Amino acid sequence: MTIHTSEDQGQIWTAIVARNRDWDGRVFFAVRTTGIYCLPSCPSRRPKYSSVEFFSSADDAERAGYRPCKRCRPEQWGRDAAEFRRLMEILLDQQEAVSSVEEWAAAAGISPVFLLRVMKRFTGTTPKRVIMEKRNNDLKELLKNGETISASQFAAGFSSSSRLYEKAVSHLGMTPRKYQNGGAGERIVYDFLNTPLGRMLMAATEHGVCSLKFGEKNHELLKELVCEFPAAKIEQQTGELDLWIEQLNAYFSTHQRIFEIPVDSHATVFQLLVWQELRKIPYGEKRSYSEIARSIGKPKAVRAVASACAANPVAIINPCHRVVHSDGSVSGYRWGIDRKKALLKMECDESKDHN
């Protein structure tokens, strides 16, 4: 199916220019002058907007006479997406921590080269980095639960203390002891937003937004941030967040549909999978908890999906408000069911106005 709505096409084109990986599989763009179609994240040079056509599936693009790009292989996206979910399920379900790329590939029955290609496509990084992120997420959970650093080190799969500290600095942005001590020595900047649904606080590290939450009063929002990072250096921003705040304001005022805002969330691998799936839900649409569970290859993990949505620290950008029960009923929003209903109504009404 060709995507006709001009505003939708404008939003999609913004994602394509930014090579936004979150849009892969949701839309495909074809170039009339070359007869080739691609994924939004394709590394090829961007054509003129006047030369492109948008499709909702690879089959639609091919029926229109376009050939798949040999760089991004859009015709393989559906198969690779299923394989990615299988690979992540293997990583998550291992009784003992996966210690190497070779071990992960062997458990999946594939080659390390194929594992690298799939991880690069869906995460933008290497299998080695994915394994390290899982170790660090496991480490964070253990430290947050009060385990000692030495016990957490081995439970998370680090072979030595020196390796733990070497890797944690590059992946966590802080040493394990700093994280355990509430982010001691870290700098977090914040500011408040006034929205139609109440006050919001946006906070960010040097890597991206770590908190975006609704609240009633500024001091309550700030208190919650301090409780999360009690030993961090928390300061009101002096311009660092302005561009990101502008995008949030545009979401409420002009109904911006795509965000170019980096996120720096402390999460488990499962939570990251769920939040990534949330970002694929189109503006104005909804998904059920069971649909999200199936889409990440965990059809029985409906309650765990609901828990991951409830733990989401970055409202709107990770649109957990778009997830509802299978019967369409609305519940379970950490910032209040009335806000969830209002967000859904706003997006639904705006989508109808442009159809």
Beta bridge partners of 215: 199
Q: CATH for 269-353?
A: 1.10.10.10
CB atoms within 10 A of CB 174: 18
- Taking the C-alpha atoms of residue 129 and residue 101, their distance in angstroms, rounded to an integer, is 10
Q: What percent of the chain is predicted at pLDDT more than 70?
A: 80
Q: What is the pLDDT of residues 282-339, one digit of tens each?
A: 888 999 999 999 988 888 889 999 999 999 999 999 999 999 999 889 988 999 999 9
**Which ranges in the chain are annotated with CATH 3.40.10.10?**
6-72
pLDDT range class, residue 62, cuts 50, 70, 90? very high
CA angle 208, 210, 213 (to 5 degrees): 130
- Taking the C-alpha atoms of residue 128 and residue 340, their distance in angstroms, rounded to an integer, is 38
Active site residue 42: no
pLDDT range class, residue 196, cuts 50, 70, 90? very high
Question: Quick one: 303 exposed, middle or buried, by C-beta within 10 A (0-12, 13-18, 19+)?
Answer: exposed
Active site residue 320: yes
Q: Report the CATH architecture of 6-72.
A: 3-Layer(aba) Sandwich (3.40)
Contacts of 187 (CB under 8 A, 6+ apart): 205, 206, 232, 233, 234, 235
Model pLDDT, residue 255: 72
pLDDT range class, residue 151, cuts 50, 70, 90? very low
Rg, the chain, Cα only: 21
Question: Between residues 213 and 99, which one has the greater pLDDT?
Answer: 213
- Strand segments, DSSP code E, in 243-334 are 287-288, 323-324
Would you say 200 and 214 are in contact if contact means Cβ atoms under 8 Å apart? Answer: yes
Element (H, E) at 170: helix 161-172
Q: What is the pLDDT of residues 231-254, one digit of tens each?
A: 788 999 988 999 999 999 999 987
Q: What is the pLDDT of residues 104-150, one digit of tens each?
A: 899 889 999 999 988 887 777 788 888 877 766 665 555 455 444 33
- Taking the C-alpha atoms of residue 22 and residue 131, their distance in angstroms, rounded to an integer, is 21
**Which ranges in the chain are annotated with CATH 1.10.10.10?**
269-353
Average pLDDT of every residue of the chain: 81
- Taking the C-alpha atoms of residue 283 and residue 121, their distance in angstroms, rounded to an integer, is 24
- Taking the C-alpha atoms of residue 266 and residue 232, their distance in angstroms, rounded to an integer, is 15
Q: Looking at the predicted structure, is the pLDDT value of residue 95 above 80? A: no
Q: Looking at the predicted structure, is the pLDDT value of residue 12 above 60? A: yes
Q: Which of 86, 77, 122, 78 is nearest to 104 (CA)?
A: 86
From the candidates 42, 210, 309, 320, give the one annotated as an active-site residue.
Answer: 320
Would you say 295 and 311 are in contact if contact means Cβ atoms under 8 Å apart? Answer: no
Strands 208-215 and 233-236: unpaired
- Taking the C-alpha atoms of residue 340 and residue 320, their distance in angstroms, rounded to an integer, is 9
Q: CATH for 78-165?
A: 1.10.10.60
Beta bridge partners of 233: 187
From the candidates 38, 72, 210, 309, give the one annotated as an active-site residue.
Answer: 38
Model pLDDT, residue 338: 93
Would you say 30 and 52 are in contact if contact means Cβ atoms under 8 Å apart? Answer: yes
pTM over 0.75: no
Minimum mean pLDDT among 59-63, 154-158, 275-279: which range?
A: 154-158
CB atoms within 10 A of CB 221: 22
Q: CATH for 187-253?
A: 3.30.160.70
Q: Looking at the predicted structure, is the pLDDT value of residue 258 above 60? A: yes
